[in-house]
Amino acid sequence: MKEKIITHIQKYMVIVILIVLMIFFSILAPNFFAVNNFFTILRQVSMIGILSVGGAFIMISGGIDLSLGVQMGLSGIIAAKLMVNYGVPIAAACMLGLLATTLVGFLNGVIITTTNMQPLIATLGMMNIVKGINYIITDGLPIYGIPSRITVLGQGHIGPVPVPSIVMVITFCLGGFLLNKTYLGRYFYALGSNEEAARLTGLNTKKIRIFAYTIGGVLGGIAGLVLMARVNSAQPMSGWGNEMDVITACVVGGVSAAGGEGKMSGVIAGVLIMGVLSNGMAVLGLGEYHQVVVKGVVLILAVGFDCMQRIWGAKVKRIEV
């Protein structure tokens, strides 16, 4: 009974928060509630949205990836460097950028499964490695002069809808499909809930974990190409700190930081909440610095709620004896 109430609260909480935030900003900032602004929000959240799908896979399977942010930087930087400095065709350059982040994700998985290292530490190390590589490739300077054909990916519209948002929606759909309809998704949940039981059921748990991180890398790469196309350049520091946005969006959307739980619909809501927050604060005139503080607060609130709900859940369970 009590458990039911808790799951109901949890189920609709994100939607309620999203609506409350929108009402809040609409009242305070008159130019917030406009169709144009909504498309702006959709475009702004695209990269984090794409990344969050990868983040969600990794977290549902019981891991975490701090290198997702800088992976986004890496694919754009490699693609831009190849296109601009070496005249490599656009498609090939993008593929190579994508390949690089896929490899980074794969390595994350291999390191974690072979050494049994804490994912937090392993990907923290990887984050710094990739950060460094991004500096080395760019020599610390932005790469400009991206061919205009690729910028459609970041700046174009189909009707009123921004192309990056379309990429994001497609990613959400594929992500939801993978989680709900395929056994790979089922494996993620099993692994995140109880790795030992999954292993003793005959699953190749290492392979599944590596797979989750590798997909994370692929999505990090795609998000990076979109970002590069959108800002018309590759910045050495792009993606810094975005791993926090990803983790926050996932946890706000009900992906458990402890693994085994989470839904794509929740992740979408989480991404939108983060987008509305940033946009709303910007419209209100709160600067970047304030936004960082608010995002930190949101992360703590969301994880705190997740943990406390776990305590309540445990109490309910203990009572049942």
- Which residues are at the interface with other proteins (CB under 8 A)? 1-2, 181-184, 186-187, 189-190, 193-194, 196-204, 260-261, 317-321
Contact 171, 238 (CB under 8 A): no
Residue closer to other proteins (CB basis): 35 or 319: 319
CA 85, CA 78: separation in Å to the nearest integer? 10
Residue closer to other proteins (CB basis): 159 or 202: 202
CA 16, CA 152: separation in Å to the nearest integer? 35
Residue closer to other proteins (CB basis): 200 or 293: 200
Q: How long a stretch of residues is the chain?
A: 321
Q: Is residue 162 within a helix (H) or strand (E), and if so which, with residue range?
A: strand 161-162
Contact 97, 76 (CB under 8 A): yes
Residue closer to other proteins (CB basis): 3 or 124: 3
Q: How far is the CB of 317 from other proteins (least distance, A)?
A: 7
Contact 245, 236 (CB under 8 A): no
Q: How far is the CB of 319 from other proteins (least distance, A)?
A: 6
Contact 284, 25 (CB under 8 A): yes
CA 264, CA 49: separation in Å to the nearest integer? 11
Q: How far is the CB of 179 from other proteins (least distance, A)?
A: 11
How many other CB atoms sit within 10 Å of the CB of residue 79? 30
Q: How far is the CB of 111 from other proteins (least distance, A)?
A: 20
Taking CA 245 as the corner, what is the angle to CA 152 and CA 302, rounded to the nearest 5 degrees?
140
Residue closer to other proteins (CB basis): 1 or 35: 1
Q: How far is CA 37 from the centre of its chain?
A: 22
Q: Which two tokens stand for residue 104?
A: 């980074």
Residue closer to other proteins (CB basis): 148 or 204: 204
Q: How far is the CB of 99 from other proteins (least distance, A)?
A: 23
Q: How far is the CB of 206 from other proteins (least distance, A)?
A: 9
